A and B are shown apart, each in its own frame.
Chain A
């Protein structure tokens, strides 16, 4: 119930944002994305089964079915309440952000990139107003009314009107990415097992709750000479040294693989099979919001007769928001 009540509010927010140049502060893209994520988790029956959970449709008795339904409704209502709460928090903070420059000077570019020309310079002690943020850059309004873009490194050397440091994060990758969503893709090839030499790509999205721990969902397709198919999975990512620019991680997850044959009919063991996957890899942070990953993944696929192993190398790209 609660989930459906959220939609009209969000639609209104989008309209409010699109029509005039009105900023709808309480509609952050992050909370917008949370909704389908939640729905997917609640209503995706197969993922539940994969993770060893039983959802409504799989509940054995009518009684447990009712219990689970009641649980879902109550939790979604509760989450609406917490969302409403977060709206309230955000609304109180509508005032523009003013910062005082403590560097000798700061360059103001015409756009968010080092290639765009420098239009103005801000002197030490000058007050600037922050308007928007793009990766590595902030759009500011100067006292004379002109607007431009200042690099994040220079903005981080400013203080608030209260005298406190602005404390915009410097380069500490993992801490900055705490509480962030990420989306990305990867590509690679299987190197071991029945799907050997098949190319694949995956699309993935996830949430990083703690600086060193995240969850992700992924969907992919693979293309062998004779075997084609798709797979999806849910993973837990542990990245203990996420403050390093090159940081190792391990991944554990479960999923399902669906193999078909094309164009010839060749016998395969894997058809529609569940699997468990483990991976080790390293992330390289190319910027605060951007990471390149190299990884080796091992799959343990349970088929009708036996468990078979697969292995794959892949390279991936992810961005955080």
Chain B
């Protein structure tokens, strides 16, 4: 009898060691996630089905001025999470290829190949400064807001990856209830060693974009 118990306990122990049991537990936990989420408050089923409009995702196109290099057309994508009436969080990704600057054209390129890809992403906190209505013509009013954003991110350019501060201002108008048109100006500030040691560079970006609110 004792031996059987020992055998059983040792087997369990071996399973725990190999991670089997913990994996099983994790599996059960994960499987329970949607159940617990959907099982909340059956009596308020109606209220819980109200459409929550908290996210929008979209694309932007615009111009970026890379300091010491040229101005380029930039493409971007963004996801915005409405945190409160006033605040929102936004994740952005921008990408462009830097052409040769005038200096480089005459004196030779600083670097080449994939290093000429300018890639930037950031995590921003936004604040709606002024909420207003935008009247395109005498018809319906569209909801609009002027907002400011600030945050941190990463810029990869010329073989460097730099910690980047982003600050900007933008204006948004909601059309047809679900499409958000945004016009943005942002300054990407980072320290670069490409031209001079520890040079703080400012890279202005102007974009226009459309997002889908859902």
What is the interface of chain A, defined by CB distance below 8 A to chain B? 17-18, 21, 23, 25, 28-31, 34, 38, 41, 48, 51-55, 59-60, 64, 67-68, 71-72, 75, 78-79, 82-83, 85-86, 89-90, 92-95, 97, 110-117, 130-138, 160, 164, 166-168, 178-179, 183-185, 187, 199-201, 203, 207, 209, 221, 223, 228, 262-263, 286-290, 317, 319, 321
Contact = CB atoms under 8 A, between A and B. Distances in A.
Contacts of B76: none
A184 B18 contact: no
Nearest to A151: B85
Contact of B20 (A52, A67, A116, A136): A67
B84 to A, nearest CB: 3
A116 B209 CA distance: 23
A215 to B, nearest CB: 9
What does DSSP make chain B's interface, helix, strand, loop or mixed? mixed
Contact of A52 (B22, B131, B141, B160): B22
B6 interface: no
B141 to A, nearest CB: 6
Contact of B33 (A114, A207, A287): A207
Given A133-B52, A185-B151, A321-B52, A166 B47 contact: yes
Nearest to B32: A82
6 contacts: A90-B38, A113-B86, A114-B85, A179-B37, A289-B82, A317-B125
Contact of A31 (B34, B83, B130): B34
B18 A130 contact: no
A179 B32 CA distance: 11
Given A64-B20, A262-B160, A321-B54, 15 more contacts: A53-B22, A67-B20, A90-B49, A97-B49, A130-B47, A134-B53, A135-B84, A137-B85, A201-B154, A203-B123, A209-B33, A209-B36, A286-B87, A317-B89, A319-B82
Contacts of A287: 83-87
Interface stretch (B23-31, B66-74, B95-103, B105-113): B23-31
A52 to B, nearest CB: 7
B47 to A, nearest CB: 6
B170 interface: no
B136 interface: no
B13 interface: no
Contact of B84 (A68, A167, A290): A290
A188 to B, nearest CB: 10
Contacts of B45: 89-90, 92-93
B163 interface: yes
A188 B127 CA distance: 21
B181 interface: no
Interface residues of B, number: 64
B85 A168 contact: no
A135 B51 contact: no
Nearest to B55: A29
Given A79-B30, A115-B130, A25 B49 contact: yes
B143 A116 contact: yes
B203 interface: no
B13 to A, nearest CB: 14
Nearest to A135: B84
Contact of A68 (B20, B50, B125): B20
B99 to A, nearest CB: 25
B198 to A, nearest CB: 9
Nearest to A41: B30
Given A116-B143, A134-B54, A138-B50, A317 B133 contact: no
A184 B89 contact: yes
B143 A110 contact: yes
Contact of B85 (A113, A130, A209): A113
